[in-house]
Structures are given as structure tokens and as C-alpha cells.
Chain A
Amino acid sequence: KQEVTQIPAALSVPEGENLVLNCSFTDSAIYNLQWFRQDPGKGLTSLLLIQSSQREQTSGRLNASLDKSSGRSTLYIAASQPGDSATYLCAVRQGDQGGKLIFGQGTELSVKP
């Protein structure tokens, strides 16, 4: 059974720092991995989708990497801003016909001005 784990559970950094969020998964037979942002009491906003054949994907100040064989993904945020404060979730998509996502518990990020 696939298990997705995110470390750390919470992270507090001063504005301007570069930071890395980690995601690991136990079953490497995935189709892709998606990173989301969740603001308190709100929905999930898709940040990046990285296919199993890709090593990394970039969008603005965000860069996601994927090492499928070792079951790891990282989300790199450059030059963090207070507006980046949110919970970041990773989710993997397995080889099921329905295409369900299996989520980690998230990393709660706080960027202090």
C-alpha cells in the first residue's frame, strides 16, 4: 500500500531564504507526482505536476525534482516571501485506472517578514 510522507511537518523561515520541502513515497510505481498549496480553510491549488519520466519541473520561483527509483521528491522555493506561507502537499498518482491521488500530510510553511 502506497504511503506518502512529508518532512518537515512545519517550517518557519525568514523572508528571502531559499528552502526545500521533502516528500517520500514507498511504492515507486507511480505515473506522476503533483505538488499543491493549501491556504487555511481553503482548497488545493496545483503548483507543479511532474511526470514519472521527468527529473524536474519549474514554475517561477518553484522547482520540483523527482527521483522515482528512490521514492523522493523535493520542492525548492527560491527567495521566499510572506505570501508563500501556506501548507504544501505532495500527492502521487498510481497506476490505477481511476487515477486517484495519494497525499502526504503536508508541510506547514511560515515565512516571516
Chain B
Amino acid sequence: EPEVTQTPSHQVTQMGQEVILRCVPISNHLYFYWYRQILGQKVEFLVSFYNNEISEKSEIFDDQFSVERPDGSNFTLKIRSTKLEDSAMYFCASSPTSRGEAFFGQGTRLTVV
């Protein structure tokens, strides 16, 4: 069964460092998303991406964040200068359409120290 894969599963970084979280969405899906979940809190939407551009972003997704689809398979989230409050589980998701079923990856646990 097709699945969304994320790497790494866990990343520890020092405050102020740049991190890149990687995702391989399901191959025939067209919509891609990043969400995050701070420990004990709700899953929060960060950004949606379609046709090689951002279609929507949340207030959380400020200038420190960027997304890219560098080739036909990968979808990345970059955080330029990490802060302690960026520590969270980051989930990538994909859907065949904007209203289709969303499939999530296993997440990357980011710890900023």
C-alpha cells in the first residue's frame, strides 16, 4: 500500500541552526501539506502546496519557514534558524485532490536544544 515517508524520524539541533525535514508523498497525489504537533497539543496546519507553489499558510508559517519540491518526489520543510519553541513532531501529508483523503507520514520529531 502506498505511504508517505518522512526522514529523519528524529532530529536534534542547536538553537539557531537550520534544519531540513524531508518527505516523499504518495506518487500520484497533487496536494502536499506540513503540520506540526507540539507535545500535548493539537495537530496544527502549517502550509499547503500545490502546483509548485504555496496555496495556503498559517500564521505559524513565518519567514523562518520555507517549503520546496526540488524534484518529482521529495517535499521538504526548511526552518532557517530554529528556536526552542520549534520543538515538535512535524507531519507531512498528501492528498490526491484538495478534498480527498489525507494520508500522513510517521512524523519527524524535532528537538531544539
Contacts and interface: CB of A to CB of B under 8 A. Distances in A.
Interface of A: prevailing SS: strand
Interface residues of A, number: 25
B101 interface: yes
Interface in A85-110: 89, 91, 93, 96-106
B99 A99 contact: yes
Given A43-B91, A44-B43, A89-B43, A101 B107 contact: no
A7 interface: no
Interface in A16-36: 31-32, 34, 36
B106 A99 contact: no
B31 interface: yes
Contact of B56 (A36, A41, A45, A96): A96
A99 B48 contact: yes
A44 B37 CA distance: 11
Nearest 6 interchain pairs by C-beta: A98-B56, A98-B48, A99-B98, A43-B106, A98-B55, A44-B104
Interface of B: 6, 31, 33, 35, 41-45, 48, 50, 55-56, 58, 89, 91, 93, 95, 97-107, 109
